[in-house]
Amino acid sequence: MFHARLGAKRLRPTYLSGQMALSDLLTLTPAGLYCAAADVHIDPVRPVPRALITHGHSDHARAGHGAVLATRETLAIMALRYGEAFCETQQVVAYGERIGLNGIEASFHPAGHVLGSAQIRLRGPSGCVVISGDYKRAHDPTCASFELLRCDAFVSEATFGLPVFRHPDAAGEVAKLLRSCTLFPERAHLVGAYALGKAQRVMKLLRQAGWDRPIWIHGAMEKITAFYQSEEVDLGDIRKVSAADRAKLAGEIILCPPGQLSDLWSRKFPDPVTAFASGWMRVRARARQRGVELPLVISDHVDWDDLCATIVETGASEVWVTHGAEEAIVHWCQTRGLDARPLHILGYGDDEVEAAGEGAA
Amino acid sequence: MNRFAELLDRLAYEPSRNNKLRLLTDYFASVPDPERGYALAAMTGALSFAHAKPSIIRTLMAERSDPVLFAMSYDYVGDLSETVALLWPAPQRDLRNAPPPTLADIVHGLQAAQKQDLPLLLASWLDELDETGRWALLKLITGALRIGVSARLAKTAVALLGGKEPNEIEEVWHGLEPPYLDLFAWVEGRAHKPSFMDPAPFRTPMLAHALDEDDFNKLDPNVFSAEWKWDGIRVQAVVGTDDEGRRVARLYSRTGEDLSAAFPDLLAMLCEAHFGDLAIDGELLILRDGQVESFATLQQRLNRKSVSQKLIAQYPAHIRAYDLLSENGEDLREQPLNERRARLASLVERLAHPRLDLSPEIAFSSWEELGCARRDPAQAGAVQDAQAIEGVMLKHRDSPYVPGRPKGLWFKWKRDPFNIDAVLMYAQRGHGKRSSFYSDYTFGVWKGTELVPVGKAYFGFTDEELKEIDRYVRSHTRNRFGPVRELDFSQQEGLVLEIAFEGLSRSPRHKSGLAMRFPRISRIRRDKPALEADRIEALEALLETGLRTAAKAPPSG
């Protein structure tokens, strides 16, 4: 059923009958969101001629497109991951810069998700739409803060779109980790964190909490972390774990991609405490499923309260939900008289894909 | 409360007993009275709140959330307390006017509250606590902490606080009340041991070492007595008289858990006037027409908070006594076993109660002779009870009753386990230290040309064997279902494991219709092709003809 809805041809008449001619600006195709007037896809999940990319996570930023327009940081991250030849031509856009695309004005604005992450605003004769990409409203010292944009239609993620997801203050979660280090100084503390964004945020939070020992990282995080440091994000003494180090890291904090927590790699550490920094850790069953002993609820996505608040604050009368718990937020919008619909875009927000991708890197 | 909640949260995820103890001891050392005392009470099951029911929580939540969003959330989270804890629309932190309630506030509040005040009181606490705090509060009042901490472990942590032995805590425990100010004062060296003595205290039991076959060269058969090792559960039946002359009787498990509520039939017996004050160590069994029933039957009476008359009649409980620790106020634990045994025998004879008897001694003059009895209890006097025997116990005739597991006095010589060869079918990752290993194994035997799972085992192997099976699992995976891997098994391919187990019973809950008792991996049979693993008929035969006779010859040695 969802697949039928994904066809652009099937969607077009429905949207044309809506109160706002959003179809002029945006439709949904099998490759993802598409602006026909500008002839660009946004975060396409398969190769396209012209793509606008919100941020560098591998479910949104894929290799193999023709022309790519993105922030300087996002382009750099894509080059680090896929090699310099990840697309045919690249164009840098600064936050707030307005770019004309066949009469459509496109601009990129901070999303607060990871370094270089952006929301994309498209303005046309029929109105203004904002595509959020992934975003958060909570403070993050490693990237620019979310900028609120007023718009007619808001295309939002809803990774944590259930009211049970209310992220606590990240500093409190890091304090939990540090208390565990004090109580178990003979055990290594392994913290699973996505290599792009989450890992560097945790490092920065640790520094802000006064942890001044070296922070050890898995090899898969090395390039991205070095990139953050070259972008003036001060993370202190970061060291890559070598095979020989592992047995000696009692009492230390080691960051690794989530997939490595339960893999052969983790075995050589002294009686490791396995921690995982993720919004999913809010739910006990999820933490237990992964065999996590110290769940740290630290998320780079909006939680339920911020998601609802953002929808209201954008002033949008129409809300499209790209991925996550679409049904719940669509229901919430409808109870408030907003026109909302789920897009069911396949391929976004797949933690496991992300984790496996990072693990292999 | 938030500190206690954080402790519960951490304990729920921590798999290792030693690390749990560390967390508990750290908590007791750093949290003041009376907060820590109420925490101890919560973990030892000493708190109960009559009026707090899940329905109150549901109603409170329904007033505060959209029913569709609640249903979606509950469906995702899968646990009512946790769903409510996360979903509860707490006011902004800076708008809260009071500090969050302490555990002591909550305990006092619940004790003082009338039933009709409860919803409002609960709602105000839920407003003031954070997510973890709300979760802990809801778990606490609905009586389901499920954090993997036994009362015994919590008491051990308190003992560690002041370098005491856990059994010293047990001796005074039943005379103490939350929040245990006198207990903490004593373990921290600020006061004398609480003077109140429980009229029916738990006494830390004396445990036996597993017998090594080499031990026989060192042990003299003449100084040991032997008894059957019964396949029930070990209990301590204690009767005493309190200051006001009232009879107090309790039935304890081996770990000091109070089982009295589930066995009113035995309690009634113990309270009969002619029993006097006593402490008996023995086996809890189900006896019908003088015959001991299987462990599976006994399980019908275990883990219950209360029990119906029907169940009591259907599964009559019985104590088979093997030691006497105290009689009419006289502590016999320093006496040699021979003395205690003689006093026990005359006591049991004098009481002449149909629900209490003496565990018989096995006559033997050499280890060979005892070995024969162990192999064939039916021929050695156990007759129709042979199936409820899981080996023999050896006790030094001069042994005092020493709490714990002293060396060289008592031995258990379990019967050889049953063995089958089974094919590894599924593997799942372990927990804690083992989270990087596939260490939980489901294995099966042949039924026609198909393999049917017959059990699960997650120990018995050496560290080397674990690594070897882990490697095998990683390189022979056919399918993945979340954390579970399905392995390549067929008539041509598969890893054969020798499984040792203690018993077999019918079980409608398992696909094969069988349930194994205490299965473990005894070795890897690399030499054996999958097709030569055992067939379901071999297990059926064990069930049909009785385990003793149909068991395959145990491995040599």
Tell me how far apart the alpha carbons of residues A320 and B552 are, in angstroms, rounded to a whole number: 67
- The pLDDT score that the predictor gives to residue A226 is 97
Percentage of chain B beyond pLDDT 90 is 56
Determine the Cα angle at A115 with ends A109 and A119, to 5°. 25
Q: A170-296: same fold as A2-164+300-360? A: no
- Residue in B66, B73, B433 closest to A164 by CB: B73
> Residue A163 and residue B15: Cβ atoms within 8 Å?
no
Tell me how far apart the alpha carbons of residues B121 and B551 are, in angstroms, rounded to a whole number: 61
Interchain contact B18–A (C-beta under 8 A)? no
Residues of B in contact with A176 (CB under 8 A): 6
10 Å CB burial of residue A6 (0-12, 13-18, 19+) is: middle
Query: What Cα–Cα distance (Å) separates residue B355 from each residue in A352, B258, B465?
Result: 59, 19, 47
DSSP, res A246: G
- The pLDDT score that the predictor gives to residue B97 is 63
> Residue B15 and residue A164: Cβ atoms within 8 Å?
no
The Cα of A85 is separated from the nearest Cα of chain B by a number of Å equal to 35
Q: What would the pLDDT profile of A226-280 be if each residue is shown by its tens digit?
A: 999 999 999 999 999 999 999 999 999 999 999 898 888 988 899 999 999 999 9
The Cα of A306 is separated from the nearest Cα of chain B by a number of Å equal to 13
Tokens of B36: 């820590």
10 Å CB burial of residue B98 (0-12, 13-18, 19+) is: exposed
- The pLDDT score that the predictor gives to residue B546 is 53
- The pLDDT score that the predictor gives to residue A353 is 39
State chain A's maximal CA–CA distance in angstroms.
66
Other beta carbons within 10 Å of B482: 8
Nearest 5°: phi and psi at B552?
-65, 155
- The pLDDT score that the predictor gives to residue B275 is 87
Q: Which band of pLDDT confidence, cut at 50, 70 and 90, is reported for residue A310? A: very high
Residues facing residue A27 across a β-bridge: A34
Interchain contact B468–A (C-beta under 8 A)? no
Long-range Cβ contacts of B250-253 (<8 Å, 24+ apart): B250/B174, B250/B200, B250/B202, B251/B284, B252/B202
> Residue A284 and residue B15: Cβ atoms within 8 Å?
no
- The pLDDT score that the predictor gives to residue B552 is 40
- The pLDDT score that the predictor gives to residue A323 is 85
- The pLDDT score that the predictor gives to residue B550 is 34
> Residue B131 and residue A168: Cβ atoms within 8 Å?
yes
Residue B512, CB half-sphere, CA atoms under 13 Å: how many?
26
| Backbone torsion region of residue B97, taken as left when φ is above 0, otherwise alpha when ψ lies between -120 and 50, otherwise beta | alpha
Nearest 5°: phi and psi at B404?
95, -150
Q: Which residues touch B114 (CB under 8 Å, ≥6 apart)?
A: none
Greater confidence (B331 vs A351) lies with B331
Residue B219's identity, in one-letter code, is L
DSSP alpha helices (H): ranges in chain A?
2-6, 8-16, 72-82, 170-183, 198-208, 222-230, 284-289, 304-314, 326-335, 351-360
Mutation for B interface: A180, A282, A284, most B CBs within 10 A = A284
Interchain contact B311–A (C-beta under 8 A)? no
Query: What Cα–Cα distance (Å) separates residue A126 from each residue in A19, A29, A96, A288?
Result: 11, 20, 21, 49
Tokens of B114: 């009338």
Tell me how far apart the alpha carbons of residues B73 and A321 are, in angstroms, rounded to a whole number: 18
DSSP, res B530: G
CB A245 within 8 A of CB A214: no
Q: What would the pLDDT profile of B481-514 be if each residue is shown by its tens digit?
A: 877 899 999 988 899 999 999 888 888 777 788 8
Tell me how far apart the alpha carbons of residues B407 and B404 are, in angstroms, rounded to a whole number: 10
Residues of A in contact with B14 (CB under 8 A): 293
Q: Which residues touch B10 (CB under 8 Å, ≥6 apart)?
A: A180, A294, B23
> Residue B69 and residue A294: Cβ atoms within 8 Å?
no
Report cis status (omega within 30 of 0) of the bond before B179: yes
Interchain contact A289–B (C-beta under 8 A)? yes
- The list of chain B residues with pLDDT below 50 reads 548-557
> Residue A294 and residue B10: Cβ atoms within 8 Å?
yes
CB B442 within 8 A of CB B425: yes
Q: Which of B38, B45, B55, B28 is closest to B108 using CA atoms?
A: B38
Greater confidence (B254 vs A116) lies with A116
- Residue in A162, A180, A265 closest to B76 by CB: A162
- The pLDDT score that the predictor gives to residue B505 is 81
> Residue B19 and residue A262: Cβ atoms within 8 Å?
no
Between residues 239 and 258 of chain A, which touch chain B (CB distance below 8 Å)?
A: none
Helix axes B131-141, B80-87, angle to 10 degrees: 150
Mutation for A interface: B3, B13, B18, B61, most A CBs within 10 A = B13
The Cα of B98 is separated from the nearest Cα of chain A by a number of Å equal to 20
Domains of chain B: 2-141 (1.10.3260.10), 209-414 (3.30.470.30), 418-550 (2.40.50.140)
CB B88 within 8 A of CB B80: no
CATH number 3.30.365.10 given to A170-296:
no
CB A60 within 8 A of CB A77: no
For residue B56, the surrounding DSSP H or E stretch is helix B54-62
DSSP, res A282: G
10 Å CB burial of residue B447 (0-12, 13-18, 19+) is: middle
The Cα of A153 is separated from the nearest Cα of chain B by a number of Å equal to 24
CA torsion sign for B296, B300, B301, B305 is positive
- The pLDDT score that the predictor gives to residue A187 is 95
Residue of B nearest to A260 (CA): B436
Interchain contact A327–B (C-beta under 8 A)? yes
Tokens of A347: 């391929």
Interchain contact A355–B (C-beta under 8 A)? no
Q: Which of A180, A114, A73 is closest to B23 using CA atoms?
A: A180
Residue A156, CB half-sphere, CA atoms under 13 Å: how many?
36
ipTM of the complex: 0.88
> Pairing between strand A98-101 and A87-92?
unpaired
Res A41 pLDDT > 50: yes
Instruction: Return the CATH class of domain A2-164+300-360.
Output: alpha beta
Mutation for B interface: A286, A293, A304, A335, most B CBs within 10 A = A293
Interchain contact B83–A (C-beta under 8 A)? yes
Residues of B in contact with A271 (CB under 8 A): 433
- The pLDDT score that the predictor gives to residue A22 is 52
- The pLDDT score that the predictor gives to residue B155 is 94
Tell me how far apart the alpha carbons of residues B135 and B5 are, in angstroms, rounded to a whole number: 8
Q: How far apart are the first and last CA of chain B?
A: 57
CB B121 within 8 A of CB B92: no
Interchain contact B434–A (C-beta under 8 A)? no
Domain ranges of chain A: 2-164+300-360, 170-296
- Residue in A183, A291, A294 closest to B429 by CB: A291
Interchain contact B81–A (C-beta under 8 A)? no
CB B57 within 8 A of CB B84: yes
- What is the interface size between A and B, counted as CB pairs within 8 Å? 83
Q: Which residue in this structure is represented by tokens 């949904």?
A: A28
Interchain contact B14–A (C-beta under 8 A)? yes
Residue of B nearest to A327 (CA): B72
> Residue A332 and residue B69: Cβ atoms within 8 Å?
yes
The Cα of B131 is separated from the nearest Cα of chain A by a number of Å equal to 9
